[in-house]
Amino acid sequence: MKSNLFSFSSGILALGVAIVLPVTVRAEEKKAAAPVPAAEEAVKKSVVLPDPVATVNGVKITKAEVQKAIDAALANAGISADALPYEQQLRGYHGIVRDMIIEKLLDEKTKDVKVTPEEVNKAFTEVQANFPDAAAFKKQLADAGETEESVKKSIASGLQKQKWLEEQTKDKVALAPDEARKFFDGNTENFKQPEQVRASHILIRSEKDAKPEDDAAKKKQIEAVAARLKKGEDFATVAKEVSEDPGSKESGGDLNYFERGRMDPEFAEAAFKLDKDGVSEIVRTQFGYHIIKVTDKKAARDIPFDEVKEKIGQYLVEQRRRTAVGEQIDALQKSAKVEVFLAPLPEPAPAPVAPAPEPAAK
């Protein structure tokens, strides 16, 4: 799992403001051993970091801090330091420094915000839940050069920022009583639910380009499964035993509800033809051989307002909060003394001017 789970941004992201660190390359000054062609020079040239890279109200953002963030971004993206042209490197550096400036400004404002150990531990547990097991989590910690203590410290800082931003923006996100209804009435096409089925399946994998003898062996396997089901064996039990779909095997082959367009066309056609509790014949798709059981069906319908009003309200509040937090951060930046010592970004190329039409012939 490639995810920068340990940054201050986690608290901000909870408010719907994505502070994304752009992909960059390592800022090491390199001297070519021999001249290189001009086409290659743009790739070989690297950004040189000054020290400090920037100051925020007199607080330095050091070369070492920026380099650490760059290295983390590279590691998360799996990109080599030499892979990007100079201008792309520079844009990435400016993006990272911009995010670090925001972090410093928020640090200054939120240092006295109270966060309890219980809040930190709860958020820490949620971070751990992103990983399949404890070993995977510990490996990510080691790869990122982090410890549980440093992660909890980062989480606490993120929660401070989240609480402060919520307090600053709370008066800007409240909805009028009729706003959710107005949104619903103006977007009725988005509240139509197509026909759905809930189905389970048993899969024996066989790629379309499998050797004939291998495909024949797989078909024999699924035929044996079909015979067991026709004798009355429980579908879910057989699926747990023999299905080769790891995503549904442990749940007895259950795929939950789906619409036609979400499945392979051959699979969807067979599933939607079945009645509730019906079991299909053998179905061939690009993934192999399936037997499908439909466990429920839902007709197409218009979703009523009362069913979605809470979610609409949450959506509208989140949109409003995103805007309000962005405005709050913009205000912090405008009121701060910020100096950035990176090489400036190049001016965007002027848009091409269309040639004037030739005068019509007389």
Domain ranges of the chain: 9-172+331-340, 195-299
3-state secondary structure of 147: coil
**Per-residue DSSP letter, 47:** P
The two tokens of residue 312 are: 């609409």
What's this model's pTM, rounded to 2 decimal places?
A: 0.60
Fold category of 9-172+331-340 in CATH: Triger factor/SurA peptide-binding fold (1.10.4030)
What is the structure's pLDDT at 47? Answer: 84
Span 195-299 CATH architecture: Roll (3.10)
Residue 76, exposed/middle/buried by CB under 10 A (0-12, 13-18, 19+)?
A: middle
Query: Do 9-172+331-340 and 195-299 come out as alike in CATH topology?
Result: no
Q: Provide the b/e sequence for 22-41 (b: ≥16 CB within 10 Å).
A: bbbbbbeeeeeeeeeeeeee
Find the helix packing angle between 148-169 and 117-128, rounded to 10°: 110
Element (H, E) at 297: strand 288-298
3-class state of residue 227 by DSSP: helix
**Predicted local confidence at residue 35, as pLDDT:** 40
Rounded distance between C-alpha atoms, residue 161 and residue 139, angstroms: 28
Ramachandran region of residue 145, left (φ > 0), alpha (ψ -120 to 50) or beta?
A: left
Q: Please give the chain's pLDDT, 362 residues, in tens.
A: 333 433 433 333 333 333 222 333 333 333 333 343 444 444 457 888 999 999 999 999 999 999 888 888 877 777 876 777 888 888 889 999 999 999 999 999 999 999 999 999 999 999 999 888 889 999 888 887 889 999 999 999 999 999 999 999 988 998 999 999 999 999 999 999 999 999 999 999 999 889 999 999 999 999 999 999 999 999 999 999 999 999 999 999 999 999 999 999 999 999 999 999 999 999 999 999 999 999 999 999 999 999 999 999 999 999 999 999 999 999 999 999 999 999 998 877 676 666 666 665 54
